[in-house]
Amino acid sequence: MVKSPLVRRFGLPGAMVAAVALGAAPAVHAGVLSQGVFRMGADVLWSSGDTGAGQVVAIVDEGFGGLDASIAAGEMPPREVLTMRSFDARHGLDGRNRLGLPTEHGTRMAEIVHDVAPDARLVLVNYNTVAEFALAAEWVTAQGIPVVSHSNSFLDGPFDGSGPAAGAVDRAAAGGVLWVNSSGNFAMRHWSGTAPAGTPVPVGITTVGGTWIQLHLSWRDPSASASFTVEHRGPDGTWTAVAASGPSGPVSAAVAAFPAADDGAYRAVVRQDAGTPQLLELVSGSANLEGAVADGSVLTPGDARGSLTVGAVPWQSGTLAPYSSRGPTEDGRAKPDISGPTYVTANPGYPGTAGTSAATAHVAGAAVLLRARREAAGLPAAAGDIRQALVAGALDLGPAGPDTGYGAGMVRLDLSAPRLEARYVPSRSVLRVRATDDGTLDAVEVRVPGARTRVLRRAVVNLRLRPARATRVTVVARDLAGNRTTRVVRIRGAR
Ligand SMILES: [Ca+2]
Ligand SMILES: [Ca+2]
């Protein structure tokens, strides 16, 4: 029982891999492995030989800049085993993000999928516009690719599953694709409310110099109209309009985008100009909004019925990230459906890759491994079967309900609790504890009444204990996926 070379090499602090898993764990690839791999318990499937061989997964994104550097670093497979398809007519596979800037986002996502399912064939697909996104979804479906990882949201509503991006995802799902989509990072960047004619509503924008201010305002009734101005407060405290919304998107929406100045404060002043009073939804692309409304902050296509929508939980904390978008959707459905680990390092050049994006790539990778396992076991492995298995296996993290951000909980592939032996040897006054796990053991806790609980990052523990009175010692072994086993050891007193 030694500290795993995986753990040492890949900096998984405080974790151990039991001998069982160590012996069987394949040498997966040359790169660094995301901590989320072990948090989910993907190593359990690896040890049964399910590393994604024979599986295909598409990473759909705005762009795949930096791909060659990632390949050179051993974080992505060589180009000859990748499939690539660009629907971005202007920029090709490198793509651009929604601000028109070069982006490596898709490469970061593909690296995570590759860490989880190292032997799966990766298909990199990019788009820029909603129309191109729909073409990409159609192509993936026509290719018969069973799992898609898509970590992006469109900022124009509606967010009730009826918009064009949601429609594209629903058609892919109807065509047999398990479409895994981020819920979005908009819990602190989404405001909703009314601004009846003649009553403009100011919404503060939290900026640091240089961040982009990108705002999208949406409403449901196309015969109504609304708009906003962006105002800047100068050193003398007066507000000056610096930008005004223009029309955007295929639905009722208005948009403005520009980089923030280094000084002063910004606010958006939202107003409804005509029509019956509408619920207005203001979404900010990168800066947080003061008075943000977390409820209803799942954008689109995370709002699609056909999407397995993913919230973000930092892999060490077990608590929803404050930015992770929450339901319900505008039409009252619960979203997200599940959570995934985030704030991971899948490539040492990019430590702390965060957001619902990273969480989504982990869940997609998990779907690939489950599909491989189920096929190998002769079990049904259609999109619905995989989705159901993921939801059923998730680790409950909090109350369920339409407005929770967790969905079913943290994705979990390791479903078995650690094996735990705990025995007291009176002749030596020693408590002997031995824990093993098919996945990655996290810690062994020893609780002695009246003493501080000891948390040991070791699988084998010999503790000297000589209680004066009869004592019940509680020993708990936890694995990283959140399973635990408890044993109670009764010790007679020394006197
Ligand atoms: Ca990696
Ligand atoms: Ca386990």
Q: Is residue 12 part of a domain?
A: no
Radius of gyration of the chain (CA): 25
Structurally, how many domains does the chain consist of? 3
Closest-CA residue to 32 (of 55, 14, 8): 8
Q: Is residue 284 part of a domain?
A: yes
Distance 353 CA to ligand 1 centre (A): 11
Q: State the CB neighbour count (10 A cutoff) for residue 60.
A: 28
- Asked if pLDDT for residue 76 goes beyond 60, the answer is yes
Q: Is residue 6 part of a domain?
A: no
Distance 115 CA to ligand 1 centre (A): 5
What whole-number distance in Å separates Cα of residue 180 and Cα of residue 306? 9
Q: Is residue 21 part of a domain?
A: no
User: Bridge partners of 170?
Assistant: none
Residues near ligand 1 ion, CB 5 Å cutoff = 31-32, 75, 111, 115, 346
Kindly state the average pLDDT of the residues 418-424. Answer: 97
Is residue 91 very low, low, confident or very high in pLDDT (cuts 50, 70, 90)? very high
- Name the residue with higher pLDDT: 41 or 223: 41
Percentage of the chain beyond pLDDT 70 is 92
- Name the residue with higher pLDDT: 140 or 250: 140
What whole-number distance in Å separates Cα of residue 137 and Cα of residue 150? 10
Note the pLDDT tens digit of each residue in 359-411.
Answer: 999 999 999 999 999 999 999 999 999 999 999 999 999 776 666 799 999 99
Please indicate, yes or no, whether residues 279 and 362 belong to a single structural domain of this protein: no
Q: Alpha helices, DSSP H only, in 143-242? A: 164-174
Please indicate, yes or no, whether residues 334 and 375 belong to a single structural domain of this protein: yes
Note the pLDDT tens digit of each residue in 171-180.
Answer: 999 999 999 9
Ligand nearest to the CA of 77: 1
Distance 353 CA to ligand 2 centre (A): 25
Please indicate, yes or no, whether residues 354 and 425 belong to a single structural domain of this protein: no
Find the helix or strand (DSSP H, E) in which 192 lies.
strand 190-193
Question: Residue 120 sits in which domain range?
Answer: 31-187+297-393
- Asked if pLDDT for residue 84 goes beyond 70, the answer is yes
Distance 42 CA to ligand 1 centre (A): 14
Please indicate, yes or no, whether residues 175 and 316 belong to a single structural domain of this protein: yes
Please indicate, yes or no, whether residues 327 and 180 belong to a single structural domain of this protein: yes
- Asked if pLDDT for residue 5 goes beyond 70, the answer is no
* Domain containing residue 87: CATH number: 3.40.50.200
pLDDT, the chain, mean: 90
Q: Is residue 3 part of a domain?
A: no
Please indicate, yes or no, whether residues 136 and 242 belong to a single structural domain of this protein: no
Ligand nearest to the CA of 112: 1
Please indicate, yes or no, whether residues 336 and 317 belong to a single structural domain of this protein: yes
* Domain containing residue 461: CATH number: 2.60.40.10
